[in-house]
Structure 1
């Protein structure tokens, strides 16, 4: 008995040691980013790195907002990222839920084949279709516009997969009762399916928003003016300029991280319960 308890204690210690080490590895870059944003460049480049700033150098945040050229284009780039990520998240959640509902609850010939073909698109890397998409965008004359930034990402296969896996175990009795009460299919979707799919919706919304917030390749192709660029492009431009202010660059990264953090904290209770949907729900 004592041997079993001793082995269990050792296992618990090893697990906790591993979790603490993993947390340190994950949090170290975040702590570095935040502390460096409050230091002048000369302190950031010191070895060993001073993890606690001597003085809070708030000028870095002002420099990040105004830019090295003093154009104050960063707030506009933040707005662009909010518009693109917000619209894409809303459309992805709504259209993926609608498609997933149809694939989960409406038996029709070829349903599994349609689902398989949708899943097959997940195997195609974006880099393989990036140039064809750009050619289509230029032929439609939607480059350097919000439509060009948003249109290719209105829905994705992962969102359909996630919503279908969640809804496939949704009780059919509830849907049938709503039909008996005279509700139409779209009314059932809006009033019953969506409100009861909060974990899946929150998970999909967070993942989609983060993906678009961090999207670099497509805006790099489609956005030609500084006014239409997004946050990742601004940070890349800031980092590649001849006289780079490392502290201001870290301040820009901190500002860019805040919306994602706020979104996660706001939806965390749904996200935690919905993050394992694809493994816990079988379709």
Structure 2
């Protein structure tokens, strides 16, 4: 599993608390990229941009036994994330997958090098999503596919509503905006692609609502948001920017912790997916 240092553009603004990496490691290609899976062929070469702990990347590798997959850490290199990805690859005995640190704004690959270029919830962390899409398109073959899935953070629903819970979600959006990127990436995805030079007639847009309702799911989400707000990457940054105070941070963490234990807890948000046939 090779690594190489490059410059980085953008930051993973939600931090790498264990609760964050835990939920990222549970992402699968079936859950996150079902719109792409039927189009993948066994001999293809795939680039997975912003791959995090690599769970989706490794699923792709199983679908291309005659090909290869490169998981590219395109934003905010995290030793914890890449260690998780490499450990997962070793545990699953995956031989045709490599993880490499990179810059999504300036991908270190030749034009047309990959059959498929994919990213999941990466653009909303970038200050220039259009430039990133141009780079993804550049390294994709002339007959290849670019596949992108993005959340829309203005469409998050939590129930029962509580001021602490809503403050936590607002802080999430404000931190993204404060970093110069767009929390409503999902609704902007098609427009960004057109500005990046994608041909409208070759763009397919679909959507998916991700729901968390079981005790296990709400415990996971509650831990995720409580963990995020407790870190310096989010809670600390919110205090630094004057978005919240220390007392409010404590209240937000407490609200998400208590919510996660409620029988009637419910959470959902919307994903928008773009598939571009070149």
Same fold (TM over 0.5): no
TM-score by length of 1: 0.25
Which structure has the greater CA radius of gyration?
1
TM-score by length of 2: 0.25
More helix by share: 1
More strand by share: 2
